[in-house]
């Protein structure tokens, strides 16, 4: 299996990946508290972008409502913890099941009725929006007032209940992100990955070749939703507060997909690179604003918008594909 994972990947790419991993493992010792919180944000977007990429980048189904899966999972795990004392390591499985079920329902309705392209994207927005308003009135989790987890002391690390210091959260998230990277590589190099690429490029030709298009689209949605559920659970336990207004919002869905789009839709390393680039840009912009003593709401997002515009106009495949070519890393990452 390992042979399959590294087949066709140049040695220098493996070395660079190894170096990156070592750097990320050592990072908490080198950066301060603030730097660590930024790195957690980077990994959060890298992982969630990777999960979205399974659906859009691999199988070609544009979802603009991934905040639905983040939110459902976050609320599930948080409610189980607060109401029944069920810890996150058990709750995460229930959250994954619920997110996958939601994805499968949307996928079933869309793919059965032949809803594709723009209509599918709008359907995903519609479901996320529907759920947002629903949670605003869902009193069991305190509706629009927000749902809060008890905040723990940072001096004790209780990994079993995901209560502890940012460093603990950082390493857990790093492990998840690294595993997701390997998992996606495994998916892409297997039969299912080739089926997805065929469906993405030419659904009708794929059908003609005997690929069960419906089934493999459903699998893509289920895997993507299930992976996204993990970031929801992480979000709930790291930030300790959930508001339907924020977690289910369309803005959040767009924020989640900016990374993979800027990095490179469909590539494996694109979402990770995109998350780094976007977060770094935002931080630099923040620093510049602070240095100039100039605070204006909205300017950060205007800047994001301009970056996004520049990328889609001049680098339609994202930053990573031209970069990997320049670095001579082959086409497979």
21 or 109: CB nearest another protein: 109
With CA atoms as reference, report the closest residue to 262 among 251, 254, 250, 270: 270
Closest residue by Cα to residue 253 from 107, 68, 122, 126: 68
Only segment of 23-31, 43-51, 96-104, 249-257 that touches another protein (CB under 8 A): 249-257
With CB under 8 A as the contact rule, the residue among 215, 302, 322, 325 that binds another protein is 302
| Cα separation, 84 vs 220, whole angstroms | 32
| C-alpha distance from residue 177 to each of 181, 230, 300 (Å) | 6, 10, 26
141 contributes a contact to another protein by CB under 8 A: no
Q: How far is the CB of 185 from another protein (least distance, A)?
A: 23
315 lines the binding site for another protein (CB under 8 A):
no
- With the C-alpha atoms ordered 73, 74, 79, 84, is the resulting torsion angle positive or negative? positive
- Residue with the two structure tokens 């959250």: 95
Contact indicator for 225, 231 with CB cutoff of 8 Å: no
Which of 6, 104, 213, 254 is in the footprint of another protein by CB under 8 A? 254
| Residues in 79-138 that interact with another protein by CB under 8 A | 109-110, 113-115, 117-119, 121-123, 125-127, 129-130, 133-134, 136-137
User: Does residue 144 touch another protein according to CB under 8 A?
Assistant: yes
Determine if 299 is a binding residue for another protein (CB under 8 A): yes
Pair of tokens at residue 279: 């977060």
**Count of residues binding another protein (CB under 8 A)?**
44
Cα–Cα distance list, 166 to 113, 159, 162, 175, 206 (Å)? 45, 11, 10, 14, 46
Report in angstroms how near the CB of residue 150 gets to another protein at its nearest: 28
Nearer to another protein, 212 or 251 (CB): 251
Q: What are the DSSP E strand ranges found in the chain?
A: 147-148, 241-242
| Chain residues that interact with another protein, rule: CB under 8 A | 56, 62, 64, 109-110, 113-115, 117-119, 121-123, 125-127, 129-130, 133-134, 136-137, 144, 250-251, 254, 261, 265, 296-302, 304-306, 308-309, 312-313, 316
């Amino acid at each position: 299996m390992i042979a399959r994972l590294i087949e066709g990947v140049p040695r220098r790419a493996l070395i660079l990946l190894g170096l990156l991993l070592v750097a990320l493992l050592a990072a908490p010792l080198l950066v301060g508290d603030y730097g660590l919180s930024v790195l957690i944000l980077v990994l959060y977007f890298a992982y969630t972008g990777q999960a979205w990429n399974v659906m859009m980048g691999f199988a070609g189904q544009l979802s603009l409502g991934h905040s639905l899966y983040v939110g459902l999972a976050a609320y599930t795990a948080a409610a189980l913890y607060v109401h029944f004392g069920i810890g996150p390591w058990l709750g995460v499985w229930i959250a994954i099941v619920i997110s996958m079920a939601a994805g499968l329902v949307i996928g079933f309705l869309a793919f059965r009725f032949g809803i594709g392209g723009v209509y599918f994207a709008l359907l995903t927005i519609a479901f996320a929006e529907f759920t947002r308003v629903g949670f605003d009135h869902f009193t069991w989790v305190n509706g629009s007032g927000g749902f809060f987890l008890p905040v723990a002391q940072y001096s004790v690390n209780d990994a079993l209940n995901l209560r502890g210091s940012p460093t603990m959260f950082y390493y857990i998230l790093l492990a998840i992100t690294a595993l997701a990277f390997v998992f996606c590589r495994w998916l892409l190099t297997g039969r299912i990955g080739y089926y997805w690429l065929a469906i993405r490029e030419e659904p009708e030709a794929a059908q003609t070749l005997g690929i069960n298009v419906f089934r493999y689209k459903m699998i893509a949605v289920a895997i993507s939703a299930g992976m996204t559920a993990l970031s929801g659970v992480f979000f709930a336990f790291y930030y300790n507060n959930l508001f339907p207004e924020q977690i289910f919002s369309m803005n959040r869905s767009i924020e989640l997909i900016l990374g993979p789009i800027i990095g490179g839709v469909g590539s494996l390393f694109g979402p990770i690179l995109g998350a780094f680039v976007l977060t770094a840009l935002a931080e630099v912009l923040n620093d510049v604003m602070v240095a100039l003593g100039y605070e204006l709401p909205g300017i950060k997002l205007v800047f994001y918008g301009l970056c996004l515009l520049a990328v889609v106009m001049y680098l339609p495949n994202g930053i990573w594909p031209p970069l990997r070519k320049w670095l001579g890393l082959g086409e497979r990452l």
